[in-house]
Every structure is written in C-alpha cells, then in structure tokens.
Structure 1
Amino acid sequence: MLLLWPAWLHDVGFQLSAAATAGLVLTARPLEQALAARLPGDTAGWWQGWLAPALAVPVAASLWTLPLQLLHFGTVPVYAVPANLLAAPLLTPLTLGAMALAAVALLTPPLLPALLLPLAWLAELLRQLAQAFADLPMAQWQSGRPLPGLVLAFALALLGLVLPGLDRRRRLLAAGLGAGVLALHLLLLSGDQLLLVHQAGTGAGRDLLLARHRGRAALVSTRADGFSCRQAGQLAQGLGLVRFDWALLLDPVATADPGCWQRQAGRVVAYGDGGAPLAMGQRLASPGLAVEALAMDSHALRLHLGPLRWLLLPDRQSLATWRSLTGHRGDDGLWLGFPPRPGERRALLAHGPGRVWLSGAPAASAPLPAGWRASGASGALAAP
C-alpha cells in the first residue's frame, strides 16, 4: 500500500493500524498461550476456549500501538483492554450487519429503514460503553509526549518483552531499558521549561507562553478565543499536564467560551470592567510560578519561573513602559511579541538581557544578534 500511497506513512491512523496488525500477527498467539497456561484449577478449559484469546487480542494491539500513542498524543488509555473486551461482542454483528445493509441498499432500498433500527441500537450501545469508560477516573494517563528518541528506545524495550522466542537475559535487558526510558522521561517532565507558541494571524497574531516548574505549569495567552483555549489544552496534554495552575489572558475582547478556560486552569484572570487583568504590583502565583504587572495600564509583565525571571512585553506600549522604568538589570530573558524597530532593537541591546525571544519573523535585512531567537511566522521556541 505504501508503494501506491507513500503519504500514508505520515498518517497517524495508518501507523496505528499497521502497528496493531503487526501485534496481532506476531504476538497475539504467544500471549494467548501464556495467559491460558497461567490459570490454575478446573477453569483452564474455559480460559483457553474464550477468555485467553479474548484478552490476547486487545493486549497485543495495545502494547504495539502504545509507543505511537505516546509519540502523537502523550496519553496512555488505561482502560483500553477491558473496554475492548466488552466491546468485542458488539463488533461482529455491527460489521456483518453493515455489510448486509449495503447489499439491501442496492437490491431492496425500501427495506433499509426497518433493518437499520437494530444496528442503530447496537451502535448506540457501543457508544455508551465507550463513553462510560471515558468517564471513569484516570481514563487517560496524561504522560506527556516523550522525545522521539525515547519513544524509539521504549518501542525496542517493548519488542524485547513481547516477541516470542527471546531468552531470559534479553527480556531482562529489555525491562531495564524500559525502566530507564520511563525514569528519564519523568525526570525531563519535572524540569523547568518555558515554551512559546506563535501563530500568525490578523493583527499581532496569537501567542501562548507556557511556564513549567517541577511538574506544575501556568499559561499566559495574548488571545482569549476558543481556538487559543483548545490549543492550550493540546499543549497541556502533550506535556502530561491535567490542568494549569493559573492562566492569564491579555485579550481585551472577552472570551465567548469562559467554560473552556475554566476547564484548562485552576484560576483564570482576564480583562474585567475595562481594566487590565493585573494592576501594578499584583501577582498571580502558585508554587514556583508567578507573574506580576510592572506598571498601570500596560501589559508589561515579569514572569518568575523557579529561579528565573523573564520580562514579557507583548506590545509596543509594554516595551515603552519597560524602557521608562529604572533597574532593567537582573532578568534572565525577555519575550517581545513583535519584531522590534531599529531604535527599539538598540534599546534592547543596550539595556535588555542577553536572551531575547521574538514572536514572528524578523526583518531579513537585520540578522538577529547573538542570544536572540525568533519564532517565525508560525512556530515555537523552548528553553532550556
């Protein structure tokens, strides 16, 4: 199939289907035999006849698709095996019924509505079953998206554990590799990180600044619309976060979906009654994470991320505010929500920190100084 449609290689659905098929072909039968051999007593016949193969199929498919789920979604479906076990009896009549309905639609279309009703009931039952498992606590463990190299190492570890015919020494090495990958991933998740995601658009575009400290995180967004909220949720999922500690919305236009932001963060601070979200001297804080306003009627902010301090200047008014303040020194970095003009660039070089992030693409005629980075028209920056 890839010879005919090479682009399918980049399709997540195709990748998951291919991995699940490989798991069924290579490991479902050995898993079934291993499960059947471990049931004591008089129930071995029943185990071998139904439960062992019923469990082996979803277990094999889940194990082989797990690295791809981590790579693309950063989540682990905790109840995948029991959900598939209960859904399996519904799939055969639904599949055969759909094939029969296709023939009926061609040969005797008037009978289609009457025959469709039983299948509709089965489909609704399957939907309710999936929803019931999705509503269970910890239905998805948000593990965060590991680095591609870690995913590859984890996949090799899983192969060493599930492929038949390997000796005990190789399986122990595979288990050790898997444990090492997990420990390294958790160590990376617990570190400090600042992430900027910029998307070009009308006006100044859209910026999300995510600060993470020891497994906790907070968010500053220049837009309060629903798209930004959903994008923030995707970022949180990719980093293994259930919710942000707090979210600061700098958009003077009120959000049309406040419930979305409330689901994303424990506390949401936005414009109210025409005033800025934070007054001068006010702080929005949680352990290891804080943001404070530097002046009245300005978006000039200082972000505290563990021991680091970053200046956040989303617009030219906030840059002018920062330039008017005394005591510029002492900040570790500065984010500018727009490409600076020549005079602004000189002021930043003279008084700003050595590390500067820019949202958007800089002018081609002016190369970025050392320590400066730009997101491009649509891109992301991360530190460290």
Structure 2
Amino acid sequence: MKVFKFGGASVKDKAGVQNLLAVLKTTGETELVIVVSAMGKMTNSFEAVVSNYFNNQSEVKASIASIYDFHHVIMMELFANPSHPVFAKVISYINNLNQFLETNKSKQHAFVYDQVVCTGELISTTIISFYLSEQGVKNRFLDIRNCIKTDANYRDANVDWEVTQKKIVSEINTKEITITQGFISAEKDHNLTTTLGREGSDYTAAIIGYCLNADSVTIWKDVPGVLNADPRHFKSPQLLHHISYREAIEFAFYGASVIHPKTIQPLQRKEIPLYVKSFYSPLDAGTCVGKGVTLDPMVSCFILKKNQVLISLSSLDFSFMMENHIGEVFKLLHLYKMKVELIQNSAISFSVCIDNKYNRLDELLSKLREKFRVKWNENVTLYTIRHANPEEILKLVNNRNVLVKQESRGTVQLVIKE
C-alpha cells in the first residue's frame, strides 16, 4: 500500500478536489491512505477565529460564518443538491466549534488553538470522502485522532509511537482507500485534540507510512518536485531528481519549506521512499528522497527564511561567555519557544538567530537584559546555502548588509539585513 498527501493548495476549490480524483484515476492506486490538509488558506481563517476569541469576541461569529460560506460554495459546486448529507455533516462540525467556544473555560491559547483549527481538516476530508464516493471511488473516512496519540504539548505535540502504531494497524485496512486528516492528533489520556506543528500534514503521512510499512509516501504539490531554490526568490531553480535521507534532513533542519522537518526520520528508519510530485503532472517522476546518491544533480541549494531575529549578547562585566552563560541563554530560548536557526560565539559575545513564531520576543529580551548586554535586529533574512561555491556566495551578498557569516563543511549561512 501507499500513502498520498494532498496539501491545502491542491484542494483549495472545486477544481482542486476534482483534480485529486484525476490523480487517483491516473495513478490507478486502490490500496491507499490519502492524507488531506485544510482547504486553501483555511488554517489561517481558523487562526483568525482563535485570535478573535481572545481579542475581539464580537467578530467570532462572523469569522466562523465566513469559513462556512467558503466551504458551502465548494460543496454547492461539487454536489449541487443542498440536501446532500455532506452539508449536514459540515454544519455539525461548525456547530461543535461554536459549542466549544461558548463553553470553554481554558485561557490557554495553545489548547484553544488546537480545538478550533482541527475543524479545517475534518471539513476538507469529509467533503473529499463524500465526493469520491459520489464519483464511484469507494473509500472509508477515518478520524485520525482515533489513531495518532500524543502528549499534551498543544500546537507541537509529541507522538506516542507505541500506542499510535497499534491503533493505526488496527484501524486502517491497507487493502482499500482511506481518507484521513493531516496535522491533527489527540492527547492519549483525555482524548483532547492536539496538533503536530504547522505544516504537520507531511509528518502525518510519514507516521502512517511508518506504522503500516508502506511501499512509499507521496506528497502532491503545485511544483514539479523539490527545487534547489524557492522560485519566488530565485530565478531559474533546478529540479532535484534524487535526495538522500541525510541531505533531506539537512534541508528540513535549515528550513526548506517543501519538506516538514519531522517527516524524513520515520521514513528513513524503514527506508520508505518519499516522493514529491506535481498534482498537475502525476505521471512525472518528481523528486525521490531515499537511499543512494546525496544529490542528483549535484548543485548548490538555497534555503531562505525571512522575518528572523538576530540577538547579540555579552556579559555585563565583559567576562568570558562561558558554558554557564550559554546554557542559561538556551534555557530562556526554550522557555519562550524560540526556534534557534544559527548560533555564533566569541570570547565575550554570543549571537543567535531565532524564529519568533510565537511572538514572545519582548518577554525574552526583558529576561535577557537582567544578565546580559543585549542588541538585536528584527526582520533579518537567513540564507543557508548547501554545497555552495564562492562565486555564488559573492553574487548573493552583492554589497548587502551581512550581519553574520558562518561557514562549515558543505554549508554557508548568512544573516542579512535587507
């Protein structure tokens, strides 16, 4: 059996859902688990509901209504008949969401986030499951929260692999087509919804592939495969035909958006190949991540992360930045949920480039100022270049304001103030 994953961009409208069906017909796969994200930019819309819930209660109902309207348009285009059972099912999800927001007592943002945002995946998979059935593709709808069990680390939950494997093996029939959700899971003790981190649908596909010993996992995207650079920021990027597991983990670690950081590890453990293909051209080879050569073709690869923060620290008394100082800094970075992208230190200074994804920078800086001299730059861009050559680095720098340059074997990183 195989695992297919379709992201939000691939099912953003009627044409996208119809194209998913076309991919299934073209590939001819019948022993399949299909993992689907929320439609289009719906995760952003559900995040707006969470924001309104905490900050602007008067807008909550309107933000939920706009979400239903978006899905209602797609359902009318796919099913036409408003008495079709898909409409009642989607309304039940909306009613459950409203009921949760009316009765919830928790003020924990991450908890509320997970209970709300999961609705996007439940709605998208319900619509797709009903549509495939209408088109003669027999399938089983599965709420993946019944299978993937985690701790209670909301918004970035850790999988309990032993429990999860048992449930996936018992719940999924590998001889049929199963439709299920990416990104969402459930806390194992109280069965409350958790999520696996933003863009976690790829990880869901990898978890299922690992637990079922799948022949392969395929991520369907609107690009021909993994490119050596983001086409939004670099001209004429090249398609990478093959990437080794190790190289893919490096890409993901440095922030390549086409592969989720946690996706590769479970697949590598069982040597399950990961394919990244275009849902517009399903018969094209795309990119294979697996055993074999490091990179084919062997070209420089550029990874770009915008809106980063560079913090530079030194001790108040100009003493050496020793292990105890650095250890304390890392404890604070962990406490305030800052993802570390680059570190650099000298005898009396320590610099760190971070991703302030939870918007807790002011709290962190306030705490750091208690023990360190603190300087920082916001909205910097971090470039990571794998297998770079000097000419390409010179061309990239091109008189720009480079705040930090760090070079190790095979990798160059630049923090640039745009």
**For the superposition of Structure 1 and Structure 2, which TM-score range results when normalised by the shorter chain?**
under 0.3
What's the TM-score once normalised by structure 2's chain length? 0.23
Structure with the bigger percentage of helix: 1
Structure with the bigger percentage of strand: 2
Q: Which has the higher contact order (CA 8 A, sep 6+)?
A: 2
